[in-house]
Structure 1
Amino acid sequence: MDELVVSTDVYVAPEEAYEFLLDFPRYERYTEYLDRVSRTHGDGGPGSRYALRFAWWKLTYTARSEVTGVTPPTRIEWRVLKDIHAHGAWVIEPYDELPDDAPTDATEGCRVTLEITFDADSADSSSVSLPPLVSFGWVLDKVRGLVTEEAERVVRRAVADLEGREREVRLDVRNESEAL
């Protein structure tokens, strides 16, 4: 299994960050390749299911995911239901004291981490309709290069939306993957 972890500081209350991240349909605003997120079942808690429609190049693909567990206000767990073995979590860790480099107007804060664990070799080539003469291996190689970039973009844009302003966001990225 491969792992990608992206984390940063967010200067809002942990409860606010949690509620914000629990709203999966909002994610379509943060990524270049996610066209639409639709809740297909549930109220956002465990067992809720989502259809995430991705578009890149000449390809479209709808991933099916499910919220597998929540621990308010510190953790939201999810998994992909078909075509690839993948799961992850948003982890929100409240600060007892703000970091020294916090904005001067910040009164609360937390560390927000996106954890993704996946098996790139489990991707199912039959799940994507490819143009003639395009191999699944070629597509997989191209997409692998976008995964880290997209995770970083999602976290940066979510921070701006959460805090209500653009700012320089320092990301800590750990990529324990030969696939990426």
Structure 2
Amino acid sequence: MDELVVSTEVYADPEDVYAFLLDFPRYANYSEYLREVRTLEGEGGPDTRYALTFAWWKITYTAHSRVTGVEPPERIDWEITKDIDAGGCWRVTPGESEADPDLDAVASDSEANADQTDHPCEVALEVEFDPGSASSDALDLPTLVSFDWVLKKAIPLIRGEAERVVERAVRDLEDSTRDVDLEVYVDSARI
């Protein structure tokens, strides 16, 4: 399995970040190649199914995904359900507060929530996939274009797409245009 993790800090309440990321149809706003996300079944929780339509070069492909588990407000697990062995998760890790714990205990709910956004939480998109499991029957390719050629060209695009989605989502969450510093971990010779 190839693995990619893109993470960064976001100045927002972890519960707000989680709710934002649970809205899968919104992802089409952040991707260069994802044209549409349709909800097929469910309301965002486990077993919610989506159709994700991607377009690149002369190829359009609809992937089917399913939310496999949630741990509010820290984790959303998902998998691709046809044509390739792939899945991953969104992970939200609350930031460490440097405030005095005794003061936090007496702070009102609104003060506590305001203080939490002063300390960034971490958001991470983790993706695992096996390119060897991709079904060549999944795409209607132009004449003289091989499935192997498409894989060789498309797989390196995954990293840029993941970075773009995380960066743009953070900007919307913060309602800002700041430069977003990303940490990227790759365990793959292909991406």
| TM-score, length basis structure 2 | 0.89
Residue number in structure 2 paired with 1:86: 86
Residue number in structure 2 paired with 1:8: 8
- The alpha-carbon deviation at position 178 of structure 1 amounts to 2.0
Alignment partners' CA distance in 1, 2:156 and 2:97: 37
Cα deviations by residue, 1:116-144 (Å, 9 ceiling, x for unpaired): 01101111110000000001111101101
Is the contact between residue 120 and residue 179 of structure 1 (CA under 8 Å) also seen in structure 2?
no
What does 1:59-74 correspond to in 2, within 5 Å?
Answer: 59-74=59-74
Alignment partners' CA distance in 1, 2:156 and 2:2: 14
Alignment partners' CA distance in 2, 1:108 and 1:15: 14
Alignment partners' CA distance in 1, 2:118 and 2:187: 34
3-state DSSP of counterpart to 1:170: coil
Alignment partners' CA distance in 1, 2:137 and 2:190: 20
Residue number in structure 1 paired with 2:57: 57
The answer on 1:172 being equivalent to 2:183 is yes
- The alpha-carbon deviation at position 96 of structure 1 amounts to 1.7
Unmatched runs of 5 consecutive residues or more in structure 1: 99-105
Residue number in structure 2 paired with 1:145: 156
3-state DSSP of counterpart to 2:66: strand
3-state DSSP of counterpart to 2:155: helix
- The alpha-carbon deviation at position 159 of structure 1 amounts to 0.5
3-state DSSP of counterpart to 1:152: helix
The answer on 1:112 being equivalent to 2:123 is yes
The answer on 1:128 being equivalent to 2:139 is yes
Residue number in structure 2 paired with 1:161: 172
Alignment partners' CA distance in 1, 2:120 and 2:45: 24
- The alpha-carbon deviation at position 107 of structure 1 amounts to 1.8
3-state DSSP of counterpart to 1:61: strand
3-state DSSP of counterpart to 1:64: strand
Residue number in structure 1 paired with 2:36: 36
| TM-score, length basis structure 1 | 0.94
Name segments (4+ residues, structure 1) moved above 6 Å: none
3-state DSSP of counterpart to 2:156: helix
What letter matches 1:39 in structure 2? T
- The alpha-carbon deviation at position 14 of structure 1 amounts to 0.3
Alignment partners' CA distance in 2, 1:89 and 1:38: 19
- The alpha-carbon deviation at position 91 of structure 1 amounts to 0.3
Aligned-residue RMSD, C-alpha? 0.9
Unmatched runs of 5 consecutive residues or more in structure 2: 99-116
Q: Which has the larger radius of gyration?
A: 2
Identity %: 56
Residue number in structure 2 paired with 1:17: 17
- The alpha-carbon deviation at position 145 of structure 1 amounts to 1.4
